[in-house]
Amino acid sequence: MPSQPPLLSATDLHKAYGPTPALDGADFAIAPGEIVAVMGPSGSGKSTLLHCLAGIVEPDAGTIRYGDLTLTGMNDMGRSELRRTDFGFVFQFGQLVPELTCVQNVALPLRLNGVKRKEAESRAREWLERLEVTEVGHKRPGEVSGGQGQRVAIARSLVAGPRVLFADEPTGALDSLNGERVMELFTEAARSTNAAVVLVTHEARVAAYSDREVVVRDGKSRDRSAQFAA
């Protein structure tokens, strides 16, 4: 358990969809460079927790802090800015833009932040090399395998140098062999940048790549290790 203060934390989060509570007093904390697996059965609230932490969903009650900022109560523009500059995302099915080449997909976060095309694509190629998929740079997502596409998605999540990465079942659509290699490359790349990683998964083999686990069940969270040091 790291002794440094958390980079991102949540206290007593509540979120309901109609009469159904998705979160019911969940807590969470993660330090810079730490990888935390959020585990739980389907419908337990783990994806809702990730979406709240990332500023995609506003909780009904509770507090989320990122550094010196309070995300809860922040307007949509402010949260969108954070997602563009400080947060990176990896989803189960990659969600690459099908009309763009893989290099253009990876460069997209930089282009949205105003980086010129030549520089953005140069940095994108560097990340494709680090993720061992240089050969697919000129191809479109529909022309690559699932494992290659997920490595491209990871490169895209890291290219802008985010401080927090949110990964929602990043190997859920892959076979075990591809999943293992993707997780090896993902965690190695994240650690090299000192990014904190919030890793939602229901698979023990994926959670094994984390530093610790937080279990979400019936909207409540439980840290399997000692309490986060203040």
Within-domain flag for 185: no
Q: Which helix (H) or strand (E) holds 50?
A: helix 46-53
Within-domain flag for 186: no
Q: Is 143 in the same domain as 79?
A: no
pLDDT score at 226: 47
Q: Is 40 in the same domain as 5?
A: yes
Q: Count of residues for the chain?
A: 230
Within-domain flag for 184: no
Q: Is 1 in the same domain as 74?
A: yes
Q: Is 48 in the same domain as 107?
A: no
Q: Is 147 in the same domain as 169?
A: no
Within-domain flag for 108: yes
Q: What is the pTM of this model?
A: 0.90
Give the tokens for residue 95. Answer: 């969600």
Give the tokens for residue 160. Answer: 């802008």
Q: Is 98 in the same domain as 76?
A: no
Q: Is 82 in the same domain as 1?
A: yes
pLDDT score at 93: 72
Q: Which domain holds residue 43?
A: 1-86+162-174+193-230
Within-domain flag for 180: no
pLDDT score at 206: 92
pLDDT score at 3: 58
The SS3 of residue 147 is helix
Within-domain flag for 131: yes
pLDDT score at 1: 44
Domain total in the chain:
2
Q: Is 168 in the same domain as 61?
A: yes
Is 118 within 8 Å of 160 (Cβ atoms)?
no
Within-domain flag for 154: yes
Question: Residue 21 and residue 11: Cα distance in Å, rounded?
Answer: 16
Q: Among 138, 161, 184, which residue terminates a domain?
A: 161
pLDDT score at 228: 44
pLDDT score at 230: 36
pLDDT score at 177: 87
Q: Is 52 in the same domain as 37?
A: yes
Residue labelled with tokens 């099915």 = 93
Is 30 within 8 Å of 76 (Cβ atoms)?
no
Within-domain flag for 179: no
Q: Is 11 in the same domain as 68?
A: yes
Q: Provide the sign of the torsion angle of the four alpha carbons 18, 54, 136, 102, taken in this order.
A: positive
- pLDDT tens, per residue, the chain with 230 residues: 445 789 999 999 999 999 989 999 999 999 999 999 999 888 889 999 999 999 999 999 999 999 999 999 899 999 999 998 999 999 877 689 999 999 999 999 999 999 999 999 999 999 999 999 999 999 999 999 989 999 999 999 999 999 999 999 888 888 888 889 989 999 999 999 999 999 999 889 999 999 999 999 999 999 876 444 43
